[in-house]
């Protein structure tokens, strides 16, 4: 999300400058929250792929406004491959979220407490090979989900950036096994001309028989092998081609139709 | 019910492999098999249900194909004979980066993106999983190298710049190279086990010593990310392909230094993914996003005799000739027997290509200093002229080069000659002479082709601004290309007749070539013209009626143009210079035929035909020496399949009014800023490209045929162009820019998102355009004046407008707009438009001020996000339906009607909110069968029955086109053709099932 001249004309870019946010992305989270109110009453949150940090800023302002008196139980941890300038009340960690060790570190920072909210706005470098780019993006989401399953409290919320490509319906279906409700939401601050949107997963409710187990020698796929969420599992024999379950998630547009349109140019 | 059959698929090809006399290419979910020597397509076999083939390994008769989470073990026989092999597809739970057979060929190894190797038997039974401990972050690349049953290495490239080499069976890490920055995109180990070559995000290639782990060298050259790398020629060379569209060959020196040897421009738009080399023949095959499979001859010089022959001064002395100090070559001409050259001291020398000897023909003072050399190959004649108007013509015997006749004469009519050009047609040899003096006539002499005696003399008054630069004789006319992009036509039979002047035909200056192409029965003749600044055009001239028209114009992507012609296959070939290279380029198929580092256009140079179709000789002088580069007919095809755009196709439009050849003409508009004009064949779906128009400077948004001869395209920067199609000529269709829509400011940065039109009488039409800043404009196009005049302008709110439709309903004109806010918004614009139909069309004097569009008359909320496509059908006199698809995955039908008071009102009558798993990007109506077709980014095509006003899903099929973004339909009486565009293009046929 470079600051091309187009961004400068963008109303969200200007508004972010005015309100002191590091990136226009802040409004995506704000508009999502405006609709879902998932930030009401949360105390412990994880912001994955957080640099330069505008989501963390939103979280910091929401969790630590003037009225709050008891801040001891509150916690925000932000993680990114890139270094981040400090933000009040936010603990930052420079690490790769696809690495199980990173997830261990985050859990240590929470001292065994569960989180109420996990979000990830991550996007990998694109190669131009559509299927590979979509796969890597989904692996990033699954990494975030891996952490989520290890530390989100029951009933908690998970939000992640997605690109609605060819196999997005497989992801919806898998998330459906872990949450009560899965919605695909597009904030008005996200360009309509891009495939970007956000999956909002409400009411964490994992299968009862499955205990997530982090292992530094296991891949993301290994991690979900025991969990019956419709992902292909590896048995004694490579299976013949099977259609994995797919599901179309409910679509929502948030931010109100009256809010600024990020596709408009002036 | 309906049935959809896919006829053809064009799109990215990620991998290619030589195997015996075949080239195997992963092409989407298919494998194509070609005989590379003949170029014949032997079979297309579908390998996977959905995934693309990313790699192919071969062992004995077995083929291991893999891609994404799919793999298949099949035989070469299967791939050669069967159309579908999807029953063999197996799945893996992780992405497969590389797959190889074991040394015995009895089992396979699959390297996954998490750096694990799954070892299994050919039937897929898992024997074990191998890995090194602790490294589980994702890989972008990797390869397995099998030496024998005990020695198998895994070479893994991480996203963090690391290269991990490990032993498969001991599961031990051997090396972790960390020299690169950014993701590693390829790692490969040489066959002799000596070196590991790696490439990455950082654009470098590194060579590592497998014995010591030492970095041997780093090589630079590519200007973007490098995607693939292979050792070849007994591990003595490397070949690489990149995002920069080139394929490069590197020498590996004995000391491990890697040095670039050659760079080939193999594909045009971003990303070359696959490469393989047939070492014994030194042929490379490459594949990329553009879907072209390109063969490159890595050794054209040796194989074809495409040698560059340099004649040193010493060579002349060996043949008993003497070149004085300071004596340089002033000109040359290639004939059947060899070369004729003239020096600054007036020596005419002859080179016989059979005996490889030089000898002297003539020494003449008149030819010293300023001489111009030209000639006619067909009659073995060379013409010299100096600036004092002395002419020498010489005719040689075809086979042995003996001088048959020679004529010298002095021309009195003009005082000085600065340019002498030669033209030949049907036994007429014509020589023109031009003096710098404006009052002198332009002189043309005709010579007898046998005796070389002058038999006619023509003189014309020179028009102002005339400087002859190229010549073409045709019937009674002499057509002269000039400076300032102008052309002049003189008449032989009537020299008094004023020249027909065609001024400023194109931007830029000198017209470098004029070539006759064909004549129509009505007397119109087509000429191809190039100018040095890179433009080429086709001009249709009717000289007796003194009419002319540009039917096609375009600019090449870079460099200068010196000439162009149609070759034997009907492909348009252009040639010229790119900085210090001379190049020939196949403009029809979009690939470079040859290029030669000759120093640039300012040198003495000439391209000659070499008396065999498809063969040429480029002669140039470099460092004082004559260089002779032969371009032979290739003994292998240059492409195996010709692809399409290398980036997303944003819109498609079929000219449905008439068939063309065995199919229909269509345009594709792409993110790569070009529009292609092509034809698809009805039976096979095979696509043939004609032209790639480069007029737009930004990514395309829309293209649409609005009649059998007009097409409109729109893009960012407020670019909207009206094109005129011409299908009268047998050489192919032509398409010319007729008019640009005036932008709203000098430096426009709005995007014209969509437009719609309504045809009026006499070729006039109404045009509605909608913009990214919510602006709406309605124009009237007057075909007589070729002008767009603004009729109405206004805006909706502040959001971007994605779609517009003009609807004529019961004597009323309705403007319907689809913004990103999901509404359908409408205006009754009859009071502006109806009034103007009669007025404006007849009389276009003094364009009046435009009207301001008031607030909309009404709007209805249909979608939860932007409307991606809109189609309208008037169902009765007072009622129309709007079909829409959106970013919200929904398909909707809205019904609008006029009430008795004449007001419009509308409502959503049907909505399918799960019409796709992701954005639905396009919709089409099949007229005669009441069907609606949608395509969406989830790569599904859905066909709905809409006859009962509802949306009844009849068919859902997977399309092989990724990032599915647009479609177009052609209705025939009993069937329809569907074009689907995205990253690639596919043609499908829709038929009704009984
Ligand atoms: C769109 S930006 C996030 C913007 C952020 N939400 C904000 O509001 O400022 C995406 C980020 O994902 C990060 N990222 C990508 N892959 C990652 C990984 N494997 N681990 C951690 N961060 C990653 C990138 O470094 C990048 O900063």
B920 touches B935 (CB < 8 A):
yes
Which pLDDT score is estimated for B826? Answer: 96
Which pLDDT score is estimated for B843? Answer: 47
Which residue's CA is the nearest one to ligand 1's atom 5? A50
Please tell me if the CB atom of residue A52 comes closer than 6 angstroms to any atom of ligand 1.
yes
A237 with B126: Cβ contact below 8 A:
yes
Q: d(Cα B383, Cα B371) in Å, to the nearest integer?
A: 10
- Report DSSP state, residue B633: P
B277 touches B230 (CB < 8 A):
yes
- For residues B623-636, give the mean pLDDT: 87
- Return the minimum-mean-pLDDT range out of A224-238, B371-385, B629-643: A224-238
pLDDT band at A14 (very low <50, low <70, confident <90, very high): confident
Of A123, A126, A144, the residue with max ligand 1 atoms within 8 A of its CB, to mutate for a pocket test, comes to A123
Q: Has residue B811 got a pLDDT over 90?
A: no
Q: Has residue A192 got a pLDDT over 80?
A: no
A29 touches A45 (CB < 8 A):
no
Report how far apart, in Å, the C-alpha atoms of A21 and of each of A17, A68, A78, A85, B133 are.
6, 21, 16, 12, 42
Q: Has residue B582 got a pLDDT over 80?
A: yes
Q: How far is the CA of A121 from the centre of ligand 1 (A)?
A: 6
Where are the extended beta strands (E) located within B102-151? 107-112, 116-121, 126-131, 139-146
Tens of pLDDT, residues B851-868? 999 999 999 999 999 999
Tens of pLDDT, residues B521-564? 998 999 999 999 999 999 999 988 989 999 999 999 888 999 99
In B785-880, alpha helices (H): 830-842
Closest CA to B473 of B509, B434, B431: B431
Mean pLDDT of chain B: 93
CB contacts < 8 A, A to B, total 177
Q: d(Cα B218, Cα B235) in Å, to the nearest integer?
A: 17
Which pLDDT score is estimated for B787? Answer: 95
Q: What six digits make up the tokens of B31?
A: 């494998």
Most confident option among A224-238, B356-370, B674-688: B674-688
ipTM: 0.92
- Report DSSP state, residue B439: T
Please tell me if the CB atom of residue A255 comes closer than 6 angstroms to any atom of ligand 1.
no
Does the annotation mark A186 as catalytic? no
Closest CA to B289 of A91, A128, A172: A128
Q: Has residue B306 got a pLDDT over 70?
A: no
Where are the extended beta strands (E) located within B624-681? 625-631, 639-641, 649-654, 663-670, 675-681
**Is the minimum CB–CB distance between A265 and chain B shorter than 8 Å?**
yes
Q: How big is the CA angle at B341 (ends B339 and B346), to the nearest 5 degrees?
A: 155
What is the side-by-side order of every strand in the sheet holding B419-425? B419-425, B428-434, B442-447, B454-460
Residues in chain A with CB shorter than 8 Å from the CB of B227 are: 127
Please tell me if the CB atom of residue A82 comes closer than 6 angstroms to any atom of ligand 1.
yes
Give residue for tokens 């009034």. Answer: B835
Burial status of residue B103 (CB atoms within 10 A of its CB: 0-12, 13-18, 19 or more): middle
Of B86, B799, B864, which has the smallest distance from its Cβ to A253's Cβ? B864
* pTM of the entire predicted model: 0.94
pLDDT band at B632 (very low <50, low <70, confident <90, very high): confident
- Return the minimum-mean-pLDDT range out of B59-73, B180-194, B359-373: B359-373
Please tell me if the CB atom of residue A100 comes closer than 6 angstroms to any atom of ligand 1.
no
Q: Has residue A2 got a pLDDT over 50?
A: no
Q: Has residue A258 got a pLDDT over 80?
A: no
pLDDT band at B832 (very low <50, low <70, confident <90, very high): confident
- Return the minimum-mean-pLDDT range out of B56-60, B876-880, B952-956: B876-880
What is the percentage of chain B residues whose pLDDT exceeds 70? 97
Q: How far is the CA of A100 from the centre of ligand 1 (A)?
A: 17
pLDDT band at B304 (very low <50, low <70, confident <90, very high): low
Q: How far is the CA of B834 from the centre of ligand 1 (A)?
A: 55
Which pLDDT score is estimated for A243? Answer: 85
Tens of pLDDT, residues A60-96? 999 987 676 677 789 999 999 999 999 999 999 999 8
Of B12, B70, B938, which has the smallest distance from its Cβ to A169's Cβ? B938
All residues at 6 or more sequence positions from B434 whose CB lies less than 8 Å from its CB, including other chains: B414, B417, B418, B419, B420, B440, B442, B443, B462, B467, B468
Which residue's CA is the nearest one to ligand 1's atom 23? A49
Residue in A closest to B982 by C-alpha: A130
- For residues B923-936, give the mean pLDDT: 90
Which pLDDT score is estimated for A1? Answer: 35
A250 touches A183 (CB < 8 A):
yes
What is the percentage of chain A residues whose pLDDT exceeds 90? 56
pLDDT band at B63 (very low <50, low <70, confident <90, very high): very high
Q: How far is the CA of B224 from the centre of ligand 1 (A)?
A: 23
- Return the minimum-mean-pLDDT range out of B298-312, B747-761, B931-945: B298-312
């Amino acid at each position: 999300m470079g600051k091309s001249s187009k961004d400068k004309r963008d109303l969200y870019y200007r508004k972010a400058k005015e309100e002191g946010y590091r990136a226009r992305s802040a409004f995506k989270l704000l508009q999502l929250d405006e609709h879902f109110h998932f930030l009401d009453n949360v105390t412990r949150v994880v912001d994955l792929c957080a640099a330069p940090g505008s989501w963390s800023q939103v979280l910091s302002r929401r969790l630590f406004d003037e009225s709050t008196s008891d801040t001891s139980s509150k916690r925000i941890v932000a993680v990114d491959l890139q270094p981040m300038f400090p933000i009040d009340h936010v603990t930052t960690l420079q690490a790769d979220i696809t690495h199980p060790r990173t997830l261990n570190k985050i859990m240590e920072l929470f001292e065994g407490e569960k989180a109420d909210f996990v979000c990830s706005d991550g996007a990998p470098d694109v190669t131009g090979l559509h299927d590979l780019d979509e796969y890597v993006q989904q692996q990033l989401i699954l990494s975030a989900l891996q952490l989520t399953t290890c530390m989100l409290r029951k009933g908690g919320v998970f939000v992640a950036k997605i690109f609605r490509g060819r196999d997005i319906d497989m992801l919806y279906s898998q998330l459906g096994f872990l949450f009560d409700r899965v919605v695909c939401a597009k904030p008005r601050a996200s360009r309509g001309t891009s495939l970007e949107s956000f999956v909002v997963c409400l009411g964490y409710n994992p299968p009862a028989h499955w205990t997530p187990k982090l292992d530094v020698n296991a891949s993301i796929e290994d991690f979900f092998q025991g969990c019956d969420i419709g992902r292909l599992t590896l048995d004694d024999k490579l299976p013949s081609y099977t259609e994995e379950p797919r599901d179309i998630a409910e679509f929502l547009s948030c931010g109100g139709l009256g809010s600024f349109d990020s596709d408009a140019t002036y | 019910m309906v049935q959809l059959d896919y006829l053809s698929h064009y799109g990215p090809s990620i991998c290619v492999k030589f195997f015996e006399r075949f080239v195997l290419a992963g092409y989407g979910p298919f494998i194509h098999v070609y005989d590379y020597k003949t170029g014949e397509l032997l079979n297309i076999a579908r390998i996977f249900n959905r995934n693309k083939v990313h790699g192919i390994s071969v062992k004995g008769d077995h083929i291991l194909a893999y891609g994404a989470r799919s793999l298949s073990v099949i035989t070469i026989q299967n791939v050669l004979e069967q159309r579908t092999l999807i029953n063999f597809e197996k799945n893996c739970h992780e992405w497969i980066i590389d797959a190889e057979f074991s040394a015995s060929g009895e089992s396979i190894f699959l390297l996954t993106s998490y750096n694990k190797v799954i070892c299994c038997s050919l039937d897929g039974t898992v024997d074990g999983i191998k890995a090194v401990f602790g490294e589980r972050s994702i890989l972008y690349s990797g390869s397995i190298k099998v030496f024998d049953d005990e020695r198998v290495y895994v070479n893994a490239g991480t996203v963090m710049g690391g290269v991990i080499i490990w032993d498969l069976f001991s599961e031990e890490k051997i090396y972790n190279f960390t020299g690169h920055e950014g993701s590693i995109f390829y790692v490969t180990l040489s066959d002799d086990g000596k070196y590991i070559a790696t490439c990455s995000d950082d654009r470098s290639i590194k060579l590592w010593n497998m014995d010591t782990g030492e970095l041997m060298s780093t090589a630079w050259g590519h200007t973007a990310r490098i995607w693939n790398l292979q050792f070849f020629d007994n591990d003595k060379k490397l070949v690489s392909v990149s995002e920069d569209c080139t394929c490069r060959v590197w020498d590996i020196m004995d000391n491990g230094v890697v040095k670039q040897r050659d760079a080939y421009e193999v594909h045009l738009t971003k990303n070359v993914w696959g490469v393989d080399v047939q070492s014994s023949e030194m042929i490379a095959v490459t594949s990329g996003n553009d879907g072209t499979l390109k063969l490159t001859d890595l050794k054209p010089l040796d194989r074809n005799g495409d040698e560059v022959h340099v004649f040193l001064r010493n060579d002349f002395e060996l043949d008993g000739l003497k070149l004085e100090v300071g004596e340089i070559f002033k000109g040359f001409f290639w004939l059947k027997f060899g070369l004729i050259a003239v020096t600054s001291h007036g020596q005419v020398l002859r080179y016989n290509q059979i005996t490889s000897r030089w000898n002297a023909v003539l020494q003449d003072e008149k030819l010293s200093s300023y001489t111009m050399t030209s000639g006619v190959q067909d009659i073995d004649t060379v013409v010299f002229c100096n600036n004092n108007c002395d002419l020498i013509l010489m005719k040689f015997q075809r086979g042995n080069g003996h001088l048959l006749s020679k004529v010298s004469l002095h021309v009195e009519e003009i005082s000085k000659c600065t340019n002498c050009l030669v033209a030949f047609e049907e036994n007429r040899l014509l020589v023109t002479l031009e003096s710098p003096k404006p009052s002198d006539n332009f002189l043309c002499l005709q010579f007898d082709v046998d005796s070389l005696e002058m038999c006619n003399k023509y003189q014309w008054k020179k028009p102002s601004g005339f400087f002859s630069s190229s010549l073409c004789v045709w019937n009674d006319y002499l057509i002269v290309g000039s400076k300032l992009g102008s052309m002049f036509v003189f008449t032989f039979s009537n020299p008094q007749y004023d020249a027909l002047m065609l001024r400023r035909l194109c931007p830029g200056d000198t017209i470098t070539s004029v070539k006759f192409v064909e004549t129509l029965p009505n007397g119109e003749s087509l000429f191809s013209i190039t100018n040095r600044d890179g433009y080429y055009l086709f001009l249709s001239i009717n000289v007796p009626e003194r009419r002319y028209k540009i039917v096609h114009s375009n600019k090449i992507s870079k460099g200068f143009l010196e000439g162009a012609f149609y070759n034997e296959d009907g492909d348009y070939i252009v040639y010229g210079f790119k900085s210090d290279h001379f190049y020939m380029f196949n403009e029809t198929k979009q690939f470079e035929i040859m290029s030669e580092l000759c120093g640039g256009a300012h040198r003495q140079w000439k391209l000659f035909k070499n008396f065999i179709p498809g063969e040429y000789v480029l002669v140039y002088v470099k460092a004082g020496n004559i260089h002779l580069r032969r371009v032979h007919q290739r003994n292998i095809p240059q492409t195996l399949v010709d692809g399409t755009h290398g980036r997303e196709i944003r819109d498609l439009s079929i000219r449905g009014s008439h068939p063309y050849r065995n199919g229909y003409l269509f345009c594709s508009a792409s993110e790569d800023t070009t529009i292609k004009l092509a034809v698809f064949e009805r039976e096979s779906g095979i696509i043939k490209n004609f032209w790639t128009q480069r007029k737009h400077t930004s990514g395309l948004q829309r293209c649409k045929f609005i009649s059998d001869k007009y097409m409109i395209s729109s893009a960012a920067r407020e670019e909207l162009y009206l094109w005129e199609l011409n299908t009268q000529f047998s050489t192919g269709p032509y398409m010319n820019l007729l008019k640009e829509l005036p932008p709203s400011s000098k430096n426009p940065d709005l995007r014209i998102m969509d437009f719609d039109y309504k045809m009026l009488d006499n070729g006039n039409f109404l045009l509605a355009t909608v913009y990214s800043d919510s602006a709406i404009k309605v124009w009237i196009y007057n075909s007589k004046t070729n002008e767009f005049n603004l009729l109405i302008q206004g805006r909706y709110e502040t959001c971007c407008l994605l779609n517009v439709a003009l609807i004529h309903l019961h004597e009323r004109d309705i403007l319907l707009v689809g913004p990103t806010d999901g509404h359908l918004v409408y205006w009754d614009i009859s009071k502006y438009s109806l009034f103007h139909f009669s007025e404006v069309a007849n009389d276009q004097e003094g364009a009046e001020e435009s009207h301001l569009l008031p607030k909309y008359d009404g709007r209805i909320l249909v979608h939860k996000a932007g409307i991606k496509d809109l189609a309208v059908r008037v169902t009765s006199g007072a009622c129309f339906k709007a079909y829409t698809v959106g970013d919200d995955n929904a398909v909707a039908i809205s019904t609008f009607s006029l009430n008795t008071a004449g007001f419009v009102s509308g409502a959503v009558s049907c909505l399918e909110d799960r019409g796709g798993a992701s954005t639905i990007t396009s919709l089409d109506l099949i007229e005669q069968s009441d069907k609606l077709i949608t395509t969406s980014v989830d790569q599904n095509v859905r066909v709905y029955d809409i006859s009962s006003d509802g949306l009844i899903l009849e068919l859902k099929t997977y399309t092989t086109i990724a990032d599915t973004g647009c479609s177009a339909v052609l209705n025939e009486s009993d069937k329809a053709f569907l074009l689907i565009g995205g990253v690639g293009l596919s043609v499908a046929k829709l038929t009704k099932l009984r």
